[in-house]
Structure 1
Amino acid sequence: MTNAAADVLRLLTVRGETLAVAESLTGGLVAAELAAVPGASKAFRGSVTAYATDLKRNVLGVDGALLEARGAVDPQVAAQMATGVRKVLGADWGISTTGVAGPEPQDGQPVGTVYVAVAGPAGALSGTTSGEKVTPLRLNGSRTEIRRESVRSVLALLLEQLAGGQTGNERAQDTEQNGGT
């Protein structure tokens, strides 16, 4: 996975831009992937691991009414987490992960339901006018496999945006299109 992290950091460094990460189900794995790349500090500002729902609201600025109505496993929550960490840590780009790695369902969502999101500078995201892009995933496998695939997917989503909309997310798309198999 470090290749995707290295590619993301290389592109950000070349562009003179920075990245912040908000994580829930991945519990710091995205930040660890990025920090494992030599020279990461040139572009990686830091991360917030907001495992608890109240941290999503109080630290990242996710709308409390949204969390109350839909729970933490929601595409809008993912988008607000990415935007919030971008703002809180003063970065050009923010990425986030939220979902259910298991072993039990959460907020009425089955294990393997994951949302990854990216928020970037105005006009920088391809295929969106909101400044945020969310990818829903339906993943199968163990808790570890779901978390690893979530890391890979969020880095691929950001890489896709940095590279101008070219896809790097074939495996997750294939998994989703095949009903998670």
Structure 2
Amino acid sequence: MNLFSLHFIELSYAWIFNEYPSFVQEDSRRFVSQETGHLYIAKVEPSDVGNYTCVVTSTVTNANVHGSPTPLVLRTDGVMGEYEPKIEVQFPESLPAAKGSTVRLECFALGNPVPRINWRRMDGMPFPSKVKLRKSNGMIEIPNFQQEDAGLYECITENSRGKNIARGRLTYYG
């Protein structure tokens, strides 16, 4: 009988715009999910037209793989009007987190104007001071997760056309 050991491989994702080494710079308008590898552009501009290539890197071996280039073109059949935020990336409604782990919650919305993203805890508890906001508030990172960090978290996306909210509960296990 053969025994196999299964190792969890950590991957990181990035996107090349047109040619290497021109990587997509993440900001309030552009977001790369480290959960799925997908690239999101909240509001496409003419300067975004070009070819996009996904790069997947193993954080263990540093080896990387490039996908096929994907073209982005602007539609010419109409003008995009303003619209309220539409959340395209959100964290699970319930997420168990281990003691001492680093927890990352992603939230990103499309919209015109580009939505602002804010976070809060819904259970009346203050945000732990160790929480780091990353990627123009598109991700929060909670290092050294402890029982007091568990609770209901909310991501609020808002622009002049409206508001949209994503919620999820972090549960603790030791």
The TM-score, its normalising length taken from structure 1, stands at 0.26
Q: Which has the higher helix share?
A: 1
